[in-house]
Structure 1
């Protein structure tokens, strides 16, 4: 037995008359009894050495405790209370072993499910924290699975026919050429404008959710994962763990972020990767410029026009 119940009231009532030495000896004998789950040895000298009794007073105290609290039988000194507790403990071994086996199996299934959920979320470019509960992982995977991931035929047709940075000949070649190994490779199969068109459907659900109600932690992580995937396609270095999202998401919509990233990618050198932090001042400048341009759009006063130049020409 690794533990036993020590009832303070019962012990105090039974041992109130003992000296300090006798208290120590009795306590040690009980612990030895429970640890071995068998009676104390019958030989008094063995018992004296077992509890470390060295002096004559200590050896006498051992004999006193044995005679008062123990009963000598063929297999050694028995204690009625210890025998009762040991019997109850041994009878419950089977139940404890069964509970331990069930708990081990439950934990094994729990770890396997966590591993599967983490693998599926990482495949969707979503990396949860290591201590995320299983219930939250299930919700994250459910939310990510509900977001539209495919482009419809109408959207594909719109993408192919919309004006882009490539020439009409290149666009027609990309959309209509047969998928064989003989045609010339197109090194610019997806322009920034096409990225915006392809992204519009995927971010529509998240933008609508952002407008209607505050985002939960699960919905926000799903939104970040989807944005990271689109930004990396454009050429922006973005991961879900970046603290930059705490600045971007509350103040800018998905469309603003994708549009700003596309504009930054157009002006960057070919093959250059852009960090997500680079978009923050660009977005701030875009918002300020839009606000100022709206305020400054005023109609000119009539008296400011030159009658000689404008009055007879019909331009006024």
Structure 2
């Protein structure tokens, strides 16, 4: 290759200049990102710890440009107006388990700036396989407090209201107050779920309800429809029938799956089989002993009654016949 060639030198110069320009632009963008990231970290660190811990209830003032940068991909997808509408929304989530915790997490990540999370239960080890954010350090902590702590780490400017309380008929008005834009039903107790749905239907409160998802794994079968037209979902069927008895035929949006779970019971282990055998033998022995005890009591009572009858007969026969006339 002859470097003295003018055209070749020009091409190499242009290529080198392009590479240098590209590297400079990328370096500048990376530098700007680092500066903005450091600014965000610094701003977060300036918030007093007493207002950043799990007891934080109020809103935190943040640089609007930093919030918009965090929500940049949301803005690109939903547009400025769409994200602004989300940020002004207020959502209440009842039930913060395997469904409610994920709903709350994604609402916050989507830009919703005000949510109320309601649940009376605590995080357990068995919760960790499905809860959106809970870790070992959260075990024993109320679910709403654990969730609030993690959500504030994601969006410190968001208002997260944790309420450690069981949803009941008596507390419904208080818990659902505030003119929410939407209520999410993620309750796993059917009686409580039915009351919440009936209450929202009667009060004309916008609600979306989660139906059964146990042992289902096909996301392509997930549907959203009115409760009146759900199919292939045992929980939805039960809810639909019981709501109809309560005077609600339609008007409630639900999320459900048309997938038919094909789950077989796991085979019993050796210990389980031995345990069942021991219980069976114990029941058999108990039945035999109870029968023997009952038989003994019956025979004893029979003999006692017979003895009493004989005693009465003997006394009657030995008594003065004339005295019985007076």
Fold equivalence (TM over 0.5) = no
Structure with the higher helix share, 1 or 2: 1
**Greater strand content:** 2
